[in-house]
Structure 1
Amino acid sequence: MTHVITQANRRRLVLDHQGQRHEFTALWLRERSPDDETRDPYTGQRLIEAAELPLDLAIETAKVADGQLNLHFSDGHHSTFGLATLFDEQASESPRRLWDAAGAPHPEADFATALEDDSALLAMLESLHRNGFVIVSGVPTDLDGMQPLIDRIGPLRRTNWGGIADVKSVANAYDLTMTQRGLEPHTDNPYRDPIPGYIWLHCLANAAEGGDSTLADGFMAARLLRERDPDAYACLTRVTPSFRYCDADTYLESEGSLIELDSRGEPVRVRYSNRTERVPALPAEELEAYYAARKAFYQLITGEELTLHLKLDPGQMLIIDNYRLLHGRSAFHLAGGVRHMRQGYVDRDTTASRRCVLHQRLATAQAQGEPA
């Protein structure tokens, strides 16, 4: 049973549905009216100019019947909404699972299956969204072996280093990634705008001594910092250092907080790159607070409480959410053999789009009794 209540001079609508309260404003409902006068039936894009609607727009009548909400607005417009659609608007996205080392997941996918089957590809993308990473097995050990799966999602994000690039020790390395030293937990390329959304790290050979990969959930680190040191958390959401990468042919610079919040005040992106960070000359007290807060965050992301250790085998690939996870590696020695990785980037918008489209497509097929 759904009960309808209008309030505040009929400019708000409250739906009490199965014990849950849902509140909507008249203007929000009016500009989202699903009728053909308000929205183009093919594109779904708005035909009216929402900014021209009267600010005192009210709901004259509101009735619920057969799962539909029928509204009559003070501008004379009538509209009918499906209740399920309205409630879906207020539903949050599929939840993320934050984890520490003790409770770390081990999400897996098979390359060939995800390449051929939409359900398997969706499962891989849902797992990536939920956990922040997924390990894909059975990837061809060709130089561009990951490319066919990227093409199912892509496009590949090209940078000044090209498309899919080597990650191995070289002489006269242009970046510390291309040496044998260990790498502290970090997020990639915070000096770019936009920052690459997902890292695809494909193992061709990993016989060197050491070179284990590490992962830490930056959103879990942010949560723990907020609980244990609220002042440090507030500082890292407030101060915006810059990040810079330069070589003979490239100059890249951007800025942003180490913990970036969304409109609801929840972490939506973490940045950490000791190699490229450049803190501005802030007032002394602010700098002291920032350095203490950064140290507290660093101790979390490098501590064993949050650090997951793994070593990729040839033919395995690690896909990492670069807005959420921090990754690193232990030092390695080539006396034991070769360590050769290939790395590419795929942007966040195309990955999210693919996941949403597959979800809608498969849900529609299931509802119609069609094979997925």
Structure 2
Amino acid sequence: MDVFVEIIPGTHARQLRVVEGNRETRFHALWLRERSPDAETLDPRTGQRLIEAAALPQDLALTGAACDGETVDLTFSDGHRARFPWRDLHPAPPAGAIHEHWDASLAIMPSADFSQALERDDALSEMLEGLERYGFVKVSGVPLTLDGMMPLVERLGPLRRTNWGGIADVKSIADAYDLTMTQRGLEPHTDNPYRDPIPGYIWLHCLSNADSGGDSTLTDGFMAAKRLRRDDPDAFDCLTRTSTRFRYVDDDAHLESEGPLIELDPRGKVIRVRYNNRTERIPPLPPEQLERYYAARRAFFALITAPELTLTPKLAPGEMLIMDNYRLLHGRTAFRLSQGVRHLRQGYVDRDTTASRRLTLRRQAGISLHSLEESA
């Protein structure tokens, strides 16, 4: 396909237009100059910038532009010449997130086999892509040992340590210091919103479960936010604009953080939900503002607890849930024990190491975002 480039008139030669078929893209001269793919501008090995971009002339302009279909040749007013491979200016869409919002009608839960994900890169990649798409994945065949999850954790990166250590026990005990250690049901929540940064992924490994109750509850927070935005836009707006606080204090820790229950990126896309009734401490805002906030929070709570949005899997010994703590709300039904102990082990893994492993495996396999979107 023919490619056409020109310096756009009336822009003081600071903009370049590139046309391929019916697609047109505009580039700023400084944006092009600071990305010039030569050894003077970018380190050939690392791709990191060698020049100080902020020191380039603010009035830098283009003095020449040509394209032979394979490369775009540019000259700049500072005398620099650059040759861009055409595809560098016409890249595939960025390797962004592909989120499939779901409700209780989800027929097949994303799943993985522990041994296969541990031994095979393609199985690990499939597990991580499922985790990214749905916000959770159920892993089977996890060794029934206290640190059974660790070999797979180490395939991704370090375990996130907290004031409770590395992997913590979740089981009913006398004189419980946290409600997770009782037999009561737990409302849908995200973990540790009082931390900064908030842990990215929860790994919950079952060693033994209750004979009655103790089912996990899973709700897609992004789906709940989507429905709130559709059905009650005023409530949605309130929860994205009101910053609430979360607090956890015991003899050895004092943790506080804040943020909205529904967090948006600059483009208005939902990127995180926070909800933790046990630790939320809304500031003493003006009563009129609190009135609006309480109504909005109630509307959101009605969605995240709605049966039509909730999955209720029960973990068997040797099964594990990996959950996106920025998206998924999890809880459990109350349980009774006639014998034995309901014993789960829980750890956290950060988002950056998880995303890095997923994207590296995707690149090594030559998987494009386009192909993933087609399979969605």
TMscore range, shorter length: over 0.9
Tell me which of 286, 294, 298 is aligned to 1:295.
298
Distance 1:98 1:85, change over 3 A: farther
Tell me which of 224, 228, 236 is aligned to 1:225.
228
Matched residue, 2:372: none
Tell me which of 49, 52, 73 is aligned to 2:76.
73
Secondary structure of the structure 1 residue equivalent to 2:243:
coil
Secondary structure of the structure 2 residue equivalent to 1:310:
coil
Q: Residues 69 and 86 of structure 2 are in contact (CA less than 8 Å); yes or no, is this contact kept in structure 1?
A: no
Tell me which of 108, 122, 125 is aligned to 2:125.
122
Q: Which amino acid aligns with 2:139?
A: V
Tell me which of 229, 241, 246 is aligned to 2:249.
246
CA–CA separation in structure 1 for the residues paired with 2:147 and 2:110: 23
* Equivalences, count: 364
Deviation at 1:67, TM superposition (A): 3.1
CA–CA separation in structure 2 for the residues paired with 1:83 and 1:300: 48
Q: Which amino acid aligns with 1:85?
A: D
Distance 1:243 1:72, change over 3 A: same
CA–CA separation in structure 2 for the residues paired with 1:92 and 1:155: 23
Greater Cα shift, 324-333 or 19-28: 19-28
Matched residue, 2:264: 261
Q: Which amino acid aligns with 1:130?
A: R
Aligned ranges for residues 1-372 of structure 1 at < 5 Å? 1=1, 2-7=3-8, 8-88=11-91, 91=94, 93-103=96-106, 105-335=108-338, 337-363=340-366
Distance 1:17 1:98, change over 3 A: farther
Q: Residues 196 and 257 of structure 2 are in contact (CA less than 8 Å); yes or no, is this contact kept in structure 1?
A: yes
Deviation at 1:105, TM superposition (A): 4.6
Q: Residues 206 and 338 of structure 1 are in contact (CA less than 8 Å); yes or no, is this contact kept in structure 2?
A: yes
Distance 1:35 1:238, change over 3 A: same
Q: Residues 205 and 346 of structure 2 are in contact (CA less than 8 Å); yes or no, is this contact kept in structure 1?
A: yes
Displaced runs of 4 or more, over 4 A? none
Q: Residues 240 and 261 of structure 2 are in contact (CA less than 8 Å); yes or no, is this contact kept in structure 1?
A: yes
Greater Cα shift, 152-161 or 25-34: 25-34
CA–CA separation in structure 2 for the residues paired with 1:118 and 1:111: 12
- Write the deviation string for residues 247-304 of structure 1: whole angstroms up to 9, x where unpaired: 1111100001111111222111110000000000111111111111111111111102
CA–CA separation in structure 2 for the residues paired with 1:105 and 1:255: 35
Secondary structure of the structure 1 residue equivalent to 2:165:
coil
Q: Which amino acid aligns with 1:211?
A: G
CA–CA separation in structure 1 for the residues paired with 2:269 and 2:364: 30
Deviation at 1:202, TM superposition (A): 0.5
Distance 1:249 1:46, change over 3 A: same
Deviation at 1:64, TM superposition (A): 2.6
- Write the deviation string for residues 93-123 of structure 1: whole angstroms up to 9, x where unpaired: 1421111222465111111111111111111
Q: Residues 99 and 105 of structure 1 are in contact (CA less than 8 Å); yes or no, is this contact kept in structure 2?
A: no
Matched residue, 2:370: none
CA–CA separation in structure 2 for the residues paired with 1:34 and 1:85: 10
CA–CA separation in structure 1 for the residues paired with 2:237 and 2:349: 31
Matched residue, 1:368: none
Distance 1:83 1:306, change over 3 A: farther
Deviation at 1:183, TM superposition (A): 0.6
CA–CA separation in structure 2 for the residues paired with 1:87 and 1:208: 58
Percentage of pairs with the same residue:
64
Distance 1:105 1:323, change over 3 A: farther
Q: Which amino acid aligns with 2:112?
A: A
Distance 1:36 1:203, change over 3 A: same
- Write the deviation string for residues 162-187 of structure 1: whole angstroms up to 9, x where unpaired: 11111110111111011111111100
Deviation at 1:189, TM superposition (A): 0.2
Greater Cα shift, 343-352 or 88-97: 88-97
Greater Cα shift, 273-282 or 198-207: 198-207
Secondary structure of the structure 2 residue equivalent to 1:88:
coil
Q: Report the TM-score, using the length of structure 1 for normalisation.
A: 0.93
Deviation at 1:85, TM superposition (A): 3.1
Q: Residues 136 and 318 of structure 1 are in contact (CA less than 8 Å); yes or no, is this contact kept in structure 2?
A: yes
Distance 1:127 1:83, change over 3 A: farther
Secondary structure of the structure 2 residue equivalent to 1:126:
helix
Q: Residues 69 and 81 of structure 1 are in contact (CA less than 8 Å); yes or no, is this contact kept in structure 2?
A: yes
Q: Residues 105 and 131 of structure 1 are in contact (CA less than 8 Å); yes or no, is this contact kept in structure 2?
A: no
Name stretches of at least 5 consecutive residues in structure 1 with no aligned partner. 365-372
